[in-house]
Amino acid sequence: MEFLSSKPRTPGELLALFRYPRDPYTVEQARAGEIFEQTLLLIQRHVNEGLTVDTNGTAFRYNDLVSPRFLDMIANLSGCTAHRRFNNCSDICFHQKYRSHDGTCNNLQHPMWGASLTAFERLLKSVYDNGFNLPRGANEQYHNGAPLPLPRLVSTTMIGTETITPDDRYTHMLMQWGQFLDHDLDATVAALSQSRFSDGQLCSAVCTNDPPCFPVMFPPGDPRQARSGGARCMFFVRSSPVCGSGMTSLLMNSVYPREQINQLTSFIDASNVYGSSDHESEEIRDLASQRGLLRQGIVQRSGKPLLPFATGPPTECMRDENESPIPCFLAGDHRANEQLGLTAMHTLWFREHNRIATELLRLNPHWDGDTIYHEARKIVGAQMQHITYSHWLPKILGEAGIKLMDEYRGYDPNVNAGIFNAFATAAFRFGHTLINPILYRLDENFQPIPQGHISLHKAFFSPFRIVNEGGIDPLLRGLFAVAGKMRVSSQLLNTELTERLFSMAHAVALDLAAMNIQRGRDHGVPSYNDYRVFCNLSSAHTFEDLRNEIRDPHVREKLQRLYGTPLNIDLFPALMAEDLVPGSRLGPTLMCLLTTQFKRLRDGDRFWYENPGVFSPAQLTQLKQTSLARVLCDNGDNINRVQPDVFRVAEFPHGYASCDDIPKMDLRMWQDCCEDCRTKGQFNALSFHFRGRRSADHSYAEENPTNGAKKREGRSIVEDPRGRPTNVTLTSKPSTEPSLNDFQDFVVDMQKTITSLRKQIKRLEARLSRTDCTDEEGRERSSNERWKKNACTTCECQNAQVTCFVEACPPAECPRPVKLKGSCCPVCLTQPTSADHGA
């Protein structure tokens, strides 16, 4: 992966950065599948050179060529057999209360349901040209009597649009929540290798279908081809296969079609904030402070921190020498830097965690760092569920869709909440049709900021714009104060996405629409018609049969020209071309697919926020006060006016409210009050005795052995000090009075409790009185010490907290500013310097 250790140079490398897994376990797992597959391909090639066995057919068996012992050895060496995770969920005290980071043990009977790094689910059987791994369209084969069109041709014919229609109801935040939510649900593991297995040539340099390369070919006459110096294709690499599926399944003497891996937990659990594995979560947490916080990065003038910077490859978000030296931000999902709106959302939610954690510690000073972290994490996950299901989904699904979802009736352990392949690969990508080509950036008065609005293609992987161009507020205001894009069947994806995705000088930019279609074929997603049948719509035999769902005859005519038969239409373009069900933002088939997934995500989640017992009724009432408007008010740099429903278009200023009037969640419902304390942690010893005393009179006989003994003629059997049973006569004292033994036990327990409390107080004192800091390189820094982290960043240690300030560079006043060594901001060299003479 050498290419990721240097600055990305091409759109393909940026895409790799976007899709490349950061977690080492994920890398290892994906690598195993690939090594194994590559080995088998090599065997196949050698065999083909010397033998006359048809290795392309499914009838052929590797076991006939290589002895089972050697195949086993290859499987072990590649690591393909080492990745079966077994979870026994035995730490039930933890699993009763909190989610695991990787989603295991949510369903106690099926601990891997919804867990990260498991195969996507399937609603319908996969469709590959050879039955198990070859994508449709990978060769010139006909399907149902017609060839499949090139995905890029579908994109230019019926998807890309220069014109857009603003949504008269909903803001651009509707899009942004969709993407942020998606990054809590799924991320397909991409092939780790970006080079042909056969000869190591980079996929970006060759245009052949050699694993793992699966390039998006330009159709003849595509104007982009001329603009890209005659390139024949766009970069595309297949998704990583699950070990033992596709090619590698042939080993096991079976044909098991290729499956893809979801890197994330499927549950709505804020894994985009906390990561989808223990390892990722530890990278993000501030474990040193013991306050349950997430790590923070530099603090801007507003006084609020940004996300920490990512270290180690792939980190480089700097695409241009003249841009400021700001690396990528680190968040729970590795795609956080993909575009500025998304980065702003990640910043908002990491601050929300820290806000809640700080408040919980204030309310419960006796809680340790882990308790604060998990309680805050549980609240943040619940907030996201509430915003999604109470505020966002009703606008996407409309009344019709909400009806299909039915009411929540409690957790159903028979429901698998895993994400299905067609959801991640086609259906939920509907959000791509809601994206504006411009990101608006507005100041406190909702006027453009001095640096202006920004074309989307300039917002990809550009965290420096958050640091240098006014923080996250201008972007957030641009999301909630500006109308989103309406999906119109003749205006699907704006050309920033189809012609300029991840664009850079001198390299072929990507096309998101073509990639979505190509990805569908890579994953063996069946055609649109099969999903129509799954969703109880008619099977279309002619293009005319689509008229109820795709009313525009021009769109149907384009589909006919492209596909020839309705049986071949790829799922993504057809879902996008369907007319909207009134009151929703979806067509009928898409509606069916999204409601199926979102119902499962709700009903199959044991930690669903409304599942009785997950929160107390009082807490639930408070959670339901959550709104994205409130989160913006609390965690923006300085947002003080919003519309109460930030997804809805509002007139400025009268449609807006002061943040003071936006309802708040009252976290006091999470305070351990004295009554509750008895059942919690260190108070157990105390409460046992008190509860015993108080309830004795009200207990049933079998629960109350002393009462039972009294009834049996006042005699009871107890053990003597050496453990032998002896008969003793009870005194006439009522048995509810504590006996001497009871009292001694009580004193011992009290002593233990006091010792434990003392220890906790000491820890707390140490935590509070600590004034020194540890910098990011692990060096001790004394209180008030200041140091330079790099040319632009100065840090200081105050009250055990490191705060860093970044110098903001003023906009350069010349076209070619130059960065001098050791200085932060690029400068304009009006006169030639001695350095120039020397060069």
* Residue of 356, 512, 575, 824 interacting with ligand HEM (CB under 6 A): 512
Q: Say whether residue 596 binds ligand HEM (CB under 6 A).
A: no
Residue 188 in contact with ligand HEM, rule: CB under 6 A: yes
Residue 667 has phi, psi (to 5 degrees) of -75, -5
Residue 318 identity: M
3-state class (DSSP) for residue 526: coil
* By the rule CB under 6 A, 187 interacts with ligand HEM: yes
Compute how many residues bind ligand HEM; rule: CB under 6 A.
22
Give yes or no: 83 in active site. Answer: no
Write the DSSP assignment of 791-821 as a string of letters: TTEEEEEETTEEEEEEPPPPPPSSSS-BPPT
Q: Please identify, using beta-carbon distances, which residue of 581 and 795 lies nearer to ligand HEM.
A: 581
Among positions 428-447, residues that touch ligand HEM (CB under 6 A) are 428-429, 431-432, 434-435
Minimum distance between the CB of residue 595 and ligand HEM, rounded to whole angstroms?
15
Residue 133 beta carbon to ligand HEM: minimum distance, rounded to whole angstroms: 18
User: By C-beta, is 372 or 456 nearer to ligand HEM?
Assistant: 456
Catalytic residue among 183, 353, 386, 391: 183
Q: Is the peptide bond before 413 cis (omega within 30 degrees of 0)?
A: no
CB of 234 to ligand HEM, least distance (A): 11
Smallest separation (angstroms) from ligand HEM to the CB of 502 = 7
Q: Is 494 helix (H, G, I), strand (E, B) or coil?
A: strand
Residue 178 as a binder of ligand HEM (CB under 6 A): the answer is yes
Check whether the bond before 314 is cis (ω within 30° of 0).
yes
The contact pattern for ligand HEM, residues 389-428, with x = CB under 6 A and - = no contact, is -----------------------------------x---x
CB of 185 to ligand HEM, least distance (A): 7
Within 10 angstroms of residue 716's Cβ, the number of other Cβ atoms is: 16
CA 733 to chain centre: 64
Assign residue 816 a region: left if phi > 0, alpha if psi is -120 to 50, beta otherwise? Answer: beta
Query: What is the DSSP code (8-state) at residue 175?
Result: H
| Phi and psi at residue 522, to the nearest 5° | -55, -40
**Residue 293 contacts ligand HEM per CB under 6 A:** no
Smallest gap from Cβ 751 to ligand HEM, in A, equals: 55
Q: Is the Cβ of residue 148 or residue 189 nearer to ligand HEM in the bound state?
A: 189
> Can residue 318 be called a binding residue for ligand HEM (CB under 6 A)?
no
- Which helix (H) or strand (E) element contains residue 800? none
Q: Which is nearer to ligand HEM, 356 or 422 (CB)?
A: 422
List 117, 158, 175, 773, residue binding ligand HEM (CB under 6 A):
175
Per-position x/- string for 142-161, each x denoting binding to ligand HEM as judged by CB under 6 A, each - no binding: --------------------
Those residues whose C-beta lies under 8 Å from the C-beta of residue 698, and which sit 6 or more positions away, are none
User: Which of 34, 37, 184, 186: binder of ligand HEM (CB under 6 A)?
Assistant: 186
Sole window of 121-129, 174-182, 551-559, 600-608 interacting with ligand HEM (rule: CB under 6 A): 174-182
CB-wise, 497 or 540, nearer to ligand HEM?
497
HSE on the CB side for 277, CA within 13 Å? 17
> Which residue is at the shortest CB distance from ligand HEM?
431
CB of 431 to ligand HEM, least distance (A): 2
Structure tokens at 801: 């907290």
Q: How far is the CB of 677 from ligand HEM (least distance, A)?
A: 44
By CB under 6 A, residue 515 contacts ligand HEM: yes
3-state DSSP assignment of residue 789: strand
Q: Give all strands (DSSP E) within 149-300, no chain letters.
A: 160-161, 166-171, 216-217, 233-234, 261-262
How near is the Cβ of 448 to ligand HEM at its closest, in Å? 20
What residues numbered 1-20 form the site for ligand HEM, per CB under 6 A?
15, 18-19
Q: Is 21 in the site for ligand HEM (CB under 6 A)?
A: no
**Residue 625 burial (C-beta neighbours within 10 Å; 0-12, 13-18, 19+):** middle
For ligand HEM, the closer CB: 431 or 474: 431
Show the DSSP H helices in 266-368 as ranges.
Answer: 271-274, 278-284, 340-363
Q: Which stretch binds ligand HEM (CB under 6 A): 177-185, 369-377, 440-448, 783-791?
A: 177-185
Q: Does 179 participate in binding ligand HEM (rule CB under 6 A)?
A: yes
167, 182, 469, 530: residue in contact with ligand HEM (rule CB under 6 A): 182
Unique residue bearing structure tokens 């001695």: 834
Query: Is residue 242 a contact point for ligand HEM (CB under 6 A)?
Result: no
Token pair in block for residue 23: 């977690």
Q: Among 338, 375, 473, 511, which residue sits at the site for ligand HEM (rule: CB under 6 A)?
A: 338
Binding ligand HEM (rule: CB under 6 A), the pick from 519, 556, 602, 630 is 519
- 288 contacts 346 by C-beta, under 8 angstroms: no
Q: Within its chain, how far is the Cα of 745 from the centroid?
A: 50
Q: Which residues make up each annotated binding site for heme b?
A: 432
- Read off φ and ψ for residue 749, nearest 5 degrees: -60, -40
- Looking at the Cβ atoms of 71 and 424, the one nearer to ligand HEM is 424
Contact flag: residue 735 with ligand HEM (CB under 6 A): no
- The answer to whether the CB of 155 falls within 8 A of the CB of 514 is yes
Q: Which residues are part of a known binding site?
A: 432
Query: Whose CA is closest to 353, among 394, 399, 406, 307?
Result: 307
Mention every residue, 6+ apart, whose C-beta is less than 8 A from residue 145: 564, 565
Residue 139 buriedness (CB in 10 A; 0-12 / 13-18 / 19+): exposed
User: Strand 493-494 and strand 483-485: pairing?
Assistant: unpaired
The residue with tokens 């300029």 is: 500
What residues have CB less than 8 Å from 282, skipping those under 6 apart? none
* Active site amino acids: 183
Write out the residues near ligand HEM by the rule CB under 6 A.
15, 18-19, 175, 178-179, 182, 186-188, 338-339, 424, 428-429, 431-432, 434-435, 512, 515, 519
